[in-house]
Structure 1
Amino acid sequence: MQSDLNAVFKALADPTRRYLLDQLHEDNGQTLNELCARLDMTRQTVTQHLSVLEAANLVSTVRRGREKLHYLNPVPLHEMQERWVDKFERPRLRALSAVKRRAEEAMTDKPSYVYVTYIESTPEKVWHALTDAELTGQFWGHRNESDWQVGSRWEHVRLDGSGTVDVYGDVLEAVPPKRLVTSWYDVGNPEIPPSRATYDIEQYDAIVRLTVTHEDLPDEQAKRDVGRGWPAVLANLKSLLETGHVLPQQPWTMP
């Protein structure tokens, strides 16, 4: 116990490490790149600070594809408070336990929805289908329009000639033909923070494994909606690439 607390005190002694904990407290589940963007220091230095925090059990990590998400672990701080500060204040300790549970629950919320499909195609063709306005119009029922450069805007545009945009967002990452990450804003609910969709395209001999991860959805209803939408859209994409034509039903009419 004493050695564990020594590691905690050592970790908390540095202002940079305290700042990293503050950032995770504000926005739990950040990548190394996201944390580095807030600090004027090299990735190697930030990684070293995070290693000290992990050794003290103040930060835990979860893999998401090629990325590693960092989460605040409040348990050692609770133990310090229990031993030296609030030994007899049980209501406060119960409140801290509730914080721990919420932090653990937040970790399980990412990713919110994952769908995997296998397509007899090539990564280049799958990438082209996902980013070509004419092809998305065929299998999605909307044109996805953008130049697909990082930082650019993308739009989900109706085919009825009205130019109506139902969903829009930013291109967060683009590594053709392997990975595309976009944010999603619902035009009808501008007050809701954006969700995030990631397309990972992997070659397996003569087939492609396409994984779609949709995160940061606002509520359970949104999870159910994407749970119905993505399988239909991706089945249409698979049919188009493998047979040259889409399924006889539009995605939004599929059960």
Structure 2
Amino acid sequence: MDKVFKALADDTRRRLLDRLHENNGQTLGELCERIAMTRQSVTQHLAVLEAANLISTVRRGREKLHYLNPVPLHEIQERWIDKFERPRLSALGALKRRAEEAMTDKPSFVYVTYIASTPEKVWEALTDADLTAAYWGHRNESDWRPGSRWAHVRTDGSGIADVVGRVVASEPPTRLVTTWAAPGDEDREDRHSRVTYEIRPHEDIVRLTVIHEDLNDEGERSDVAGGWPAVLSNLKSLLETGRTLPQEPWLVPGH
């Protein structure tokens, strides 16, 4: 607890936690963008936060991603705030813990790619039905407004949707969040997964992150781990060269 209070006593470290609360899973370079401080100084502050268990880090290839860990803050709340309204706040705390435990039981998949394009063009490629048909083999059809239905429709003229869901968040051209379900499971929330597309300018290129969460089991995670790289490689080729790959990448042996 002493390390937590020491870490929170510094304004820069509180701002770093705020940055991760706004957009979790950032690199050192991304965290430095709006802080007038050297990378070495920011690294030292992050080390203090990590020692206090307020952040955790994950390696993704050459990148080191930083994630907010709210557990120590929750413990402070339980010790210093809950005592004043213990019955009501304890019930809420228990509900939150059960929800977090349920979430951690479900596997997820994260994929990052860099594309020589603009955020606007990447957004269009993800939401334009004709473009998705070109590189995905399915038309992603929706008006892409929060709350609207979307469908992953075959391009063979049958009109059959293999995936359906709802638009959770739509913030063009930087962030799109959708739920995914089989058509028969559309009304079963326990069978939904969630996909977040994060589109960030990275100097003269775009950093596209796809996060597929709440997958039902490791078998489903294995399926999406083979599918997403193939689809996004085809998208990257289309935006950078004007052509999709010479053969459908999901039909390559091993996918």
Normalising by the residue count of structure 2, what TM-score does the alignment of the two structures yield?
Answer: 0.63
Q: Are 1:176 and 2:247 an aligned pair?
A: no
1:23 pairs with one of 88, 95, 98: 95
Shift of 1:218: 0.2
**Which structure 2 residues correspond to residues 217-236 of structure 1 after superposition, within 5 A?**
217-236=215-234
Secondary structure in 2 aligned to 1:237?
Answer: helix
CA distance in 2, matches of 1:126, 1:220: 29
**Secondary structure class of the residue paired with 1:144:** strand
Moved more, 231-240 or 4-13: 4-13
Shift of 1:250: 1.8
Matches of 1:252 and 1:174, distance apart in 2: 27
Aligned-residue offset at 1:189: 5.2
Tell me the secondary structure at the aligned position of residue 112 of structure 2.
strand
- Structure 1 position 6, deviation (Å): 11
Indicate the SS of the match to 1:161. coil
Aligned-pair identity (%): 54
> What is the CA–CA distance in structure 2 between the aligned matches of 1:181 and 1:198, rounded to whole Å?
4
SS state of the match for residue 27, structure 1?
helix
Deviation at residue 8 of structure 1 after TM alignment: 3.2
Decide which of 133, 139, 164 is 2:160's aligned counterpart: 164
Matched, 1:150 2:146: yes
- Match of residue 238 from structure 2: 240
Listed as ranges, the gaps of 5+ residues in structure 2 are: 2-74
Change in 2 beyond 3 A, CA 1:157/1:216? same
Distance 2:249 2:225 in 1: 12
Indicate the residue corresponding to 1:85 in structure 2.
none
What residue in structure 1 maps to residue 204 of structure 2?
A: 206
1:116 to 97, 106, 112: 112
- In 2, the alpha carbon distance for the partners of 1:121 and 1:6 equals 45
Instruction: Give the C-alpha shift of residue 153 in structure 1.
Output: 0.4
| 1:125, distance to aligned residue in structure 2 (A) | 0.1
The answer (yes or no) to whether the contact 2:106–2:217 under 8 Å persists in 1 is no
Task: Tell me the residue number matched to 1:11.
Answer: 82
SS in 2 for 1:252: helix
> What RMSD in Å do the two structures reach over aligned CA positions?
2.6
DSSP 3-state at the match of 2:221 = helix
Return the letter of the residue paired with 1:214: H
* In 1, Cα distance between equivalents of 2:83 and 2:236: 51
- CA shift, 1:130, in A, is 0.2
Matches within 5 A, 1:43-192: 103=101, 107=104, 112-187=108-183
Count of matched residue pairs: 177
SS at match of 2:181: strand
**Aligned equivalents of 1:208 and 1:148: distance in 2?**
21
Task: Find the structure with the greater CA-based Rg.
Answer: 1
- 1:225: how far off? 0.2
